[in-house]
């Protein structure tokens, strides 16, 4: 009986606290939406929306391939090339940064911490900001997109790879060092075989992300299928927008499927 009397005030206090939290959340939402401007639809809004959906449902199939000019297939191939080259560059450059940031490889906490800071600093910049910087440096085009994805992907790949290096067993490395092997040979024969499957899986995962990013970077002039997409949007050529979006969806779906199958075999 006493336990029931003791638990009753606790339950009442918990209900009051939950009710107060709910009331505060509701009040915040009411305050946030109260300042929203009223939605105003133009007289032509219905016609524009109808034209957009009509273009998406009736894409411009003639744009798929032009023998003598830019077309959908060339734009998608350009996007794939930008994503692939960017991923290869990042995959090569992230390796020294990963070993630099791994605490079990670099035993000095200050030095390994500096490596982690560098990787975090690179991850601060979104791909689109990196692309804008390289567009100013080297001009618009596919080259700026490759540099943006190649440099921008180092932070993510380096972080994932360094964490994977920190989780490995260093027993084989210590055994090689004890037999007289230098640190480079110890890393090559003892560390790399353990982390290589995860490293390849990270590269494939980043390639999937870079394909989507390369599409967006084209919108600001960094090459790829995004460039004709923004041109089609600017002139309201919804049929061309529809076929470009359809091509992007099919390309991303195929890449995701293939990459998932490969990563499943690596793990």
The string of DSSP letters for 93-149 reads HHHHHHHHH-TTTS--HHHHHHHHHHHHHHHHS-HHHHHHHHHHHH-SSHHHHHHHH
- What local confidence, expressed as pLDDT, does residue 10 receive? 64
Residues of the chain under the 50 pLDDT cut: 1-6
Distance CA 24, CA 64 (A): 54
Record the pTM. 0.77
Q: List own/partner pairs for 229-234 with CB under 8 A and 24 or more apart.
A: none
Give the pLDDT confidence of 92-123 residue by residue, as tens digits. Answer: 999 899 888 888 878 788 888 898 999 999 88
What are the tens digits of pLDDT across the range 220-263?
A: 888 888 888 888 888 888 888 888 888 888 898 898 888 888 88
- Return the pLDDT at 81: 92
CA distance 158 to 100: 10
Q: What is the pLDDT of residue 103?
A: 85
Contacts with 194 (C-beta within 8 Å, 6 or more apart), sequence order = 168, 169, 172
Cα distance between residue 158 and residue 183, in whole Å: 20
């Amino acid at each position: 009986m006493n336990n029931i009397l003791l638990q009753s005030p606790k339950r009442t206090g918990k209900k009051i606290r939950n009710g107060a939290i709910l009331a505060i959340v509701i009040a915040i939402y009411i305050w946030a939406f109260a300042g929203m401007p009223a939605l105003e639809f133009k007289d032509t809004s219905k016609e524009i929306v109808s034209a957009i959906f009509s273009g998406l449902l009736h894409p411009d199939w003639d744009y798929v391939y032009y023998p003598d000019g830019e077309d959908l297939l060339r734009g998608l191939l350009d996007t794939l090339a930008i994503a692939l080259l960017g991923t290869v560059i990042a995959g090569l450059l992230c390796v020294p940064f990963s070993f630099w940031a791994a605490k079990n490889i670099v035993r000095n906490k200050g030095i390994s911490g500096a490596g982690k800071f560098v990787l975090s600093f690179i991850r601060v910049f979104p791909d689109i900001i990196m692309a804008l910087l390289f567009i100013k440096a080297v001009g618009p085009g596919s080259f700026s997109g490759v540099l943006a994805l190649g440099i921008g992907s180092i932070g993510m790949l380096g972080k994932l790879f360094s964490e994977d290096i920190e989780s490995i067993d260093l027993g084989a490395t210590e055994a090689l060092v004890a037999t007289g092997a230098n640190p480079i040979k110890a890393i090559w024969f003892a560390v790399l075989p353990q982390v290589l499957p995860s490293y390849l899986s990270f590269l494939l995962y980043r390639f999937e992300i870079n394909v989507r990013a390369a599409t967006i970077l084209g919108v600001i002039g960094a090459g790829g299928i995004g460039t004709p997409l923004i041109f089609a949007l600017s002139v309201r050529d919804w049929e061309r927008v529809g076929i470009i979006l359809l091509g992007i969806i099919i390309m991303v779906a195929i890449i995701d499927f293939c990459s998932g199958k490969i990563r499943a075999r690596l793990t």
